[in-house]
Amino acid sequence: YAFTTLTCIPGVMEHRGAKIQILDLPGLIKGAAEGKGRGREILNVIRSADMVLYIVDPFQDGHFDVLHRELHNAGLRLNEEKPPIFIKRTDRGGVEIRSTVEQTHLTNEEMADIIRSFGYTSALVTLREDSTAEQIVDCLAGNRIYETAVIAINKIDIATDNDIARARAALPEEWPVMNISAFKDIGLEEMKDFIYDNLGFMRVYLKPQGQEADMEEPLIVKDDSTVQNICIKLHRDFVRKFRFARIRGPSAKFDDQRVGLDHQLKDGDVLTIVVKR
């Protein structure tokens, strides 16, 4: 897995059994989303990453806003969930809006106008949350990227408490933030855990049939992984030849529970995969 930093931290970081590729990219300038300063090339790399790490200078108030705006304009939705909006083209009947919650941002006709502007003459639209115009456009565009983002405030060796407080006040409230000093090597070890934890990793220990589990080198996977995801990661034939799996650990109701491909794994599970010969 990789996360992208907009400053210069090159290489591969090995931490808690995971190898995390850190991509070193040039800084973005205003207008990067329109291609200025080789912006499209840089943004395409960011779109393929799993995480964006912002390094914030507490003495430069506007830098975060410029970077964040360019990523947003390029279709990156950081620390946002994909909105539960479902649009199905139909043969007739115009644009029909169905909602499971009250819509306070737009009327049905305003929503229909947005949808028709994307070439839909007839469609069934289902909304499962109070949706904004931007969310509907994002759904229709179909090319938005939803990624995790974290922030490190640098230079805490020379910044005062007031400087850091002012910098934090200008950042999104619910985003993960930590303080570091790259020059004085303050917080850099802790930042490894910060990155790992926010990437959403978990450990799965593999136990070949009839053998002991390998408890020394776990498989590091995303924390929403299923048995099928593990099969795909191990060998392309495992899904085709899959018979069943056995689980011990947090996701199992009892030791050696027999499960299928769709079983949701948890951190610390011990997994045995049984395939056809």
pLDDT digits (tens, 9 = 90+) for 188-208: 999 999 999 999 999 999 999
User: In the predicted model, is pLDDT for residue 1 greater than 70?
Assistant: no
230: exposed, middle or buried (Cβ count in 10 Å: 0-12, 13-18, 19+): buried
3-state secondary structure of 201: strand
As given in the structure block, the two tokens for residue 94 are: 């115009």
**Residues 6+ positions from 212 with CB-CB distance below 8 Å:** none
- Tell me what pLDDT residue 23 has: 82
Residues in the chain: 277
User: In the predicted model, is pLDDT for residue 8 greater than 80?
Assistant: no
- Tell me what pLDDT residue 259 has: 97
**For the ranges 27-31, 84-88, 139-143, which has the lowest average pLDDT?**
27-31
- Tell me what pLDDT residue 32 has: 66
Q: How confident is the model at residue 182 (pLDDT cuts 50, 70, 90)?
A: very high
Please give the average per-residue pLDDT across 147-154, as a whole number: 96
Q: Give residue-wise pLDDT tens across range 155-181.
A: 999 999 999 999 999 999 999 999 999
Calculate what percentage of the chain has a pLDDT beyond 90.
77
User: In the predicted model, is pLDDT for residue 9 greater than 90?
Assistant: no
- Tell me what pLDDT residue 2 has: 39
Cβ-count burial 99-129 (b if 16+ within 10 Å, e if not): beeebeebeeeebbebbeeeebeebebebee
d(CA 142, CA 209): 43
- Tell me what pLDDT residue 3 has: 42
- Tell me what pLDDT residue 29 has: 65
Q: Give residue-wise pLDDT tens across range 93-144.
A: 999 999 999 999 999 999 999 999 999 999 999 999 999 999 999 999 999 9
Residue 140 CB coordination number (10 Å): 16
Instruction: Please give the DSSP secondary-structure letter assigned to residue 275.
Output: E
